[in-house]
Every structure is written in C-alpha cells, then in structure tokens.
Amino acid sequence: MLLRIVDLGLIDYQEALTLQYSLIEKCSREEIPDTLLLLEHPHVVTLGKRGENSDMLFSEDVLSSRGVQTAWVDRGGQATYHGPGQLVGYPIINLRHHQRKIKRFVHNLETFLIELLGRHYHIRCHTEDNYVGVWVENRKIAAIGISIHKGVSMHGFALNVNTDLEYFSLIIPCGIQGGGRGVTSISKELAGEVAVEAVKQQAGPLFAEIFGYEATEFISKEDFQEYL
C-alpha cells in the first residue's frame, strides 16, 4: 500500500479542515491513496466533541484579542491548543482497507509518537489509561484526537516540538487539571532548540513503517495542488 505524505507548512486551521473533508471524499471513493498531512497552525484553540465553554479560561473574544482563533470541531476529546512550533499530523486513511479497528488505529498513533521520540530524541514516553496521548512522566507531549467519516480517518496528532507552552495556560488542555500534570515539548525536555522541520522529516518515514505501508510518496504543498 502507498502512503502519500504532504508537507503543508504553516496553514490556517479552517483551511486545513476544509482540505481534510475534501480528501475524505476522494479517499472514500478510492480516487487517492491514504494521505498524511504534516503541518503547523497559527495560534488556535480547538474543542472536540466533549469540549465545553468551561475548558476555555478566557472568552473567545479575549482569545481573539490575543491572536488566538477558536474552533469547535467533531474530533474526539476536549480542548487543545495548536500553534507554531507544534508538528500536527492529519492521517486521511481508508479504514475499510487498513487499520480497521479504531482502537488499534489510535494505539498505532501512540506507538508511532513513542517510537519517534525515543528513537530520534531519546525521550522515554508512555501512554496513560485515562488519557489518550503520549506522556513524559506526568507531562503531556503529544495529543491525539480523531474522527471517522465514510470509513476514513481525519484529525490526528499534535506533537509539541518547540511550542510556546504558555498558550496552554489559556485553556484546560484535554481536561487535565491538578495532580501535578502539565504539558511539555521536545525542546523543553532536551533543554535545547529542536526544529519542527527536522522532526517532520523523521515523522513521515516512521509513520509509514509503524502503519505498515510498502511505499511512500512525498509531496510539497505547491505540487499537492495538482491532486485537488
């Protein structure tokens, strides 16, 4: 099976969401292969199916005044933050042919992130029974939230690389409150700057390996327009 990996660079959240829905239709009709979108977003807070207004510690107007967009979406989970310095991955995968069980799909996403951080950055990570995502001790380094439409996955993972973690203080991230829990990033754990571009180059091939693809095709944002 072929995995197409697309580098979208920095892209507005709503633009990426519209693109995902377009790709879902094509993938469902088997007009395109499974596709992994790798990107960064400008500052945005997103709230999933279990999200509530109380997950935001400031009003949408206040967030907007600070340059942070707000989006209510149909992925699993509650509130999270996306912004520059965070590697976001949206796997558009036809589950009718691949990774049929959703729990296994999420498990493979977690395994991919744990392998990425361990293999390339020697950061020991784990999962939590009560929280989807990947953790370094009691600090969350990667969030996962997906939804399925027409048998095709969308949304995905957000890995903090050199993210400004102060933005997470605007929300209750993923419902995490108290207990000494918090958020972290690769750069914070290593006490040194790590570039998103470097992690992106490592992420694509490893994702294909973990998910069992036989071949990969790398496409730039500019070339990708031909496929839309």
Residue 18's φ and ψ, nearest 5 degrees, are -60, -40
Report the catalytic residues: 174
What does each C-alpha distance from 24 to 19, 31, 34, 130, 142 come to in angstroms?
Answer: 9, 10, 10, 29, 24
Q: What is the spatial distance between Cα 59 and Cα 90, in angstroms, rounded to a whole number?
A: 28
Max CA separation in the chain (angstroms) = 49
Average pLDDT for residues 152-181, to the nearest whole number? 85
Radius of gyration of the chain, Cα coordinates, nearest whole angstrom: 17
Look at residue 227 and tell me whether its pLDDT is greater than 70: no
With bands split at pLDDT 50, 70 and 90, how would you rate the model's confidence at 62? confident
The CATH superfamily label for domain 2-223 reads Bira Bifunctional Protein; Domain 2 (3.30.930.10)
pLDDT of residue 158: 96
Percentage of residues in the chain with pLDDT exceeding 90?
Answer: 66
* 181-190 residue pLDDT tens: 889 999 999 9
| Chain length of the chain | 228
Q: How many other CB atoms sit within 10 Å of the CB of residue 173?
A: 24
Give me 79's structure tokens. Answer: 């509130």
Domain boundaries of the chain, sorted by first residue? 2-223
Look at residue 53 and tell me whether its pLDDT is greater than 80: no
Burial 39-78 (b: 16+ CB within 10 A, else e): bbbebbbbbbeebeeebbeeeeeebeeeebbbeebebbbb
Look at residue 50 and tell me whether its pLDDT is greater than 70: no
With bands split at pLDDT 50, 70 and 90, how would you rate the model's confidence at 198? very high
Model-wide pTM > 0.85: yes
Percentage of residues in the chain with pLDDT exceeding 70?
Answer: 91
* 104-123 residue pLDDT tens: 899 999 999 999 999 999 99
pLDDT of residue 205: 96
How many Cα atoms are found within 13 Å in the side-chain-facing hemisphere of 159? 28
Look at residue 99 and tell me whether its pLDDT is greater than 80: no
With bands split at pLDDT 50, 70 and 90, how would you rate the model's confidence at 132? confident
Average pLDDT for residues 203-209, to the nearest whole number? 96
Contact present, 55 and 175 (Cβ < 8 Å): yes
| Helix/strand/coil (H/E/C) assignment for every residue in the chain | CEEEEEEEEECCHHHHHHHHHHHHHHHHCCCCCEEEEEEECCCEEEECCCCCHHHECCCHHHHHHCCCEEEECCCCCCEEEECCCEEEEEEECECCCCCCCHHHHHHHHHHHHHHHHHHHHCCCCEEECCEEEEEECCEEEEEEEEEEECCEEEEEEEEECCCCHHHHHHECHHHCCCCCCEECCHHHHHCCCCCHHHHHHHHHHHHHHHCCCCEEEEEEHHHHHHHC
With bands split at pLDDT 50, 70 and 90, how would you rate the model's confidence at 75? confident
Average pLDDT for residues 138-162, to the nearest whole number? 94
pLDDT higher for 74 or 174?
Answer: 74
Look at residue 141 and tell me whether its pLDDT is greater than 90: yes
Task: Name the least confident of 28-32, 98-102, 116-120.
Answer: 98-102
Look at residue 41 and tell me whether its pLDDT is greater than 70: yes
